[in-house]
Amino acid sequence: MTMTLWYDVTDLVSWRLPHLTGIQRTVVGVLSGIRSQGISVSLVAFEAGQGFRTAELSEFPEFIRRALDDGSADVGASSSAAPLRSRSRRHPVSRRIPGLGADEAGQDLDRAMREAARAMRQLRGAGRRWMGSRLARAVGRLRPSDPAPVREVPALVPEGGGPILPGDSLVSLGASWIQPAHAACVAALRPRGIRVVRMIYDLIPTLKPEWVDDPDHGVRHARPITEWARRVLLQSDCVVTISEFSRQEILRYCAEAGIVPPSIAVVRLGDDLGALPEHPPLPRFVPSRPFILCVSTLDIRKNHRLLYDAWCILAARDPARMPDLVCVGTPHLYVKDLLREMRLNRDVNRRIHVVHDCADEELAWYYRRCAATIYPSRYEGWGLPVAESLAHGRLVLASNATSIPEIGGDLPAYFDPVDVHGVVALVERTLGDPQWVAAREQAIRERFVPTPWTRTASQVLEALDAAPPRKTGSAP
């Protein structure tokens, strides 16, 4: 009997942004790495009220499909996740509708028909969820003292692919905590003999709730993500994570929470940029002065306030010689006040620039022309922009916190993430000592070896194969 490797693409079929962020780039990169090795893989997606169903690459957003179809384009706003070049035997990249022709009009009609089919699937799922919610309300009105009805969570793939059979494996690396029923559905698979590997990138919401929760405004992320992490640890045959630092944090949490941990393996995220354009196009914003580049979501944990404070000091010392700071990233949690200060402070508001929705071609231009990159994060599970900067051969000024030193060893120039004067000193040296910069970048080009996504994918599959048999855990 042929066993099937199922790969969870729930994040990708429901993705709405015009670019990918870190977790989703990992989902794409590992899938790329699996397929490029000629390994047959079947796609599966989770839908609330339906469970897992077979999925097609044609369901991905257009910019991902376009990247997959041409086999060369990148898919991330701040990354160059490897494209999916090989074809799965069971799931071709593009199922063209015969008879439409290969001209532009035929392609447009083919694309529109596939979009319509996708919309119909979403409509059916929404209709089922709506009917289920109305039924639950009716039951509640008839018997208000009874607990809410619990429906058996479906764990089969009902359309096209038949059931997920004993001996099959499921690889789930996405942000599945946003789908509360996802964990219960996966838990229903393991007693049937399906091996499960899942990813915990870090335990930041659990260990640092002050960076994600705002009880005064009803924002509570830590508890549901912690509950998800507990279920992953109890109901997986193997858990993979992205640094030795994260692995130790997970083991420490398990010891404190009284959880017997599963096999936990470290995989290194891909950072091989592939072929870069020799002459990338001009970005929408072109700095007119020497600049330092920071690629990162704008988040309180990412520590952009340290950079703001450092640039205020640089402006007070010598505004004519200070570099610009280009921050490429999307504002996220609790940075509204910081962005307001950046915008209104006349000493630095013409020297600090925040760029949103930056395409890979634009980002390549920034990497090619920056004086250096900087990454001030206070806490990371990994820190992929540091690896990407090293892959570009550029000097990185990096925080020495948590997992970040695992990425490049002694190649970055490190600073303490609470030492604003240390940052100022490194920025001033970067602009004032070109021989030092040249020597550091020469060492990077000679010693940094980028990691292809094929290696990340192989590490995930090796961790699954090596995991010892584990008894089915119960939900917390």
The residue extents of the domains of the chain are 5-270+455-466, 291-449
CATH 3.40.50.2000 matches 291-449: yes
Helix axes 304-317 and 336-344, enclosed angle (nearest 10): 20
Question: Within the chain, which residues score under 70 in pLDDT?
Answer: 1-2, 65-108, 110-163, 471-476
Quote the tokens at residue 291.
Answer: 């600049």
- Entry field: residues in the chain: 476
Amino acid sitting at position 258: G
Tokens at residue 254, please? 């398990």
Dist. CA 456–CA 463, nearest whole Å: 11
Note whether 5-270+455-466 and 291-449 share their fold.
Answer: yes
Q: How many CB atoms lie within 10 A of CB 450?
A: 15
Going by CATH, does the domain composed of 5-270+455-466 fall within 1.25.40? no
CA gap 183, 231 in Å, rounded = 7
Its sign, for the CA torsion 413, 414, 417, 421, is negative
Closest CA to 399 of 315, 311, 302, 290: 302
CA distance 297 to 76: 13
Query: Do 457 and 86 touch, CB atoms closer than 8 A?
Result: no
338 class by beta-carbon count within 10 Å (0-12 exposed, 13-18 middle, 19+ buried): middle
pLDDT in tens, 94-142: 334 445 555 556 656 755 665 565 556 556 545 544 544 444 344 333 3
